[in-house]
Chain A
Amino acid sequence: MSFDAAALLDAIRAFPLGEVRLMEVCGTHTMAIAKSGIRSMLPDNIKLLSGPGCPVCVTPGAVIDAVLELSMRPGITVATYGDMVRVPGSTPGDNLARRRALGAKVEVVYSPVDAVKLAAARPGEEIVFLGVGFETTAPGTAAAVLTAQEQGVKNFSLFSMLKTVEPALRALIASEGFNVQGFLCPGHVATIIGEEGFSFLPRDYALPAVISGFEPEDILLSVYALAKQLAERKPRVQNEYRRAVAPNGNPLARAVMEKCFAPRRDLWRGLGAIEGSGLGLREEFSVFDAEKRFGVEYGAEEKPSACRCGEVITGRLTSAECPLFGKRCTPEDPVGPCMVSSEGACAAYYKYQSC
């Protein structure tokens, strides 16, 4: 049977619902929604908001500042995913791309293990990998640390900015002015943490949660499922992405992650410091901890800034409502990370404006 978007949209329209605000937690969803033009198709009462699910966007300016400072130290090569190269620290325009032009060594890699290979190939340099992301990238990052340990690659280290989804969502829901009626849950993260990983949403907050894949068809089906749950007032976790997500996720990946990392207090853009929301290397892996190896320090609080990305990724402001959007803040001269990342809400709005 072929997919009938029009029929599904009619069905969504037919639910007796007032204004409904749904949040997509994953940056890949944000991008897929913008790219396929789903927003231009949905009825006016269904609003899709971007959540704190773009790993680059939730990294605060103070941490980027620390990375930029580290990148200028002699002997250090920063290995990073491409997205991080253009993210500004607390000074607009100051990013790894600019530091590279000023002499910093910055290499774009495609996986954490590539950074270990880079280190093995360049024994004279200290390779610092910027570990960014959620439960999706954490197991791969852990595997890279284990590989470095096994192979005795001593010039590899990890600057962990890794985070977990649940504490952030809990903090978001508890925050003042929170106004979201359901979550479109990230399919990639769910492949690791499973359906169980999102069960706290209906259980503790009576919020519907639908785990969604990334094709426009997946997203529209998930919006339909959320609207249906709301209309029936029966919040639960539904798994729309069964072709990839097992009910209990991926226990092996979680085991590798837990072997290397322990939860710690971490700083989020827009949400501030959240207990147990970050993943730091465990004591037995501290030789691979770049923060310890190079004595990196940054403040425990978010610095004030004109950038309002924090409000955008907590659903308080749409990108277009930010006074900087499209004026002082554009993809070529971004003020905030939401405009840089290929998964950032503002970049998606800017690049794929609906009409």
Chain B
Amino acid sequence: MPEHTVKAFDEDITHLRGLIAEMGGLSELAIQESLDAMVRGDETLAAEVVKRDRKIDELHTEVDKLAVRVIALRAPMADDLREVVAALKIAGVVERIGDYSKNIAKRVGKIEGRDRFEPLTLLPAMGDLAAEMVHDVLSAYAARDPLLAKEVIAADDKVDAFYNSIFRNVVSYMVENPATISSAAQLLFVARNLERIGDHATNVAEMVHFAATGTYPPDEDD
């Protein structure tokens, strides 16, 4: 981006982007660790994920304040305004992604008899896809790369397909093993959370595209 006459504005934007990157890093780690905790049954790790979510919330508040102050003080125009508005929205969505991970972590202790619980093996692959989308969309934000953002949007179909697949698998597992229904129901929520994370990554991707080009990406089938 070209430099601005008001140097303080550059400082503010850089700081804003730094804060969002930091939030993104935290939420990325939260997805990974909540899944690891879920698969291994590691409640200590899960508790850490829950605890660390507070940091994401704090950063979110900080982004909000800074963005509003920039708008109030500097009245940015055109791409500068887009940048700030996108930052404001993206921070909100990234915060939600953190919440979904926290929710997954909270369910770790509620799975019983995990050694014999086959549906658990279905989750990591879906988690990998969702986490990859979040990773890519944050990289797209850092690089202001609309093409990578589009790729993230395209990947959401795969996460949805996974969700449907896991849903069916878990439901048929419940039918065959009624004793595990309460644990299996928890897994459905975990899968649902991952699916929502994918949707939110898509939302961020659309905003990255918007901030970079001024238009929302068209719906297209390649």
Partners in one complex: no
Interface on A for B, CB 8 Å cutoff?
Answer: none
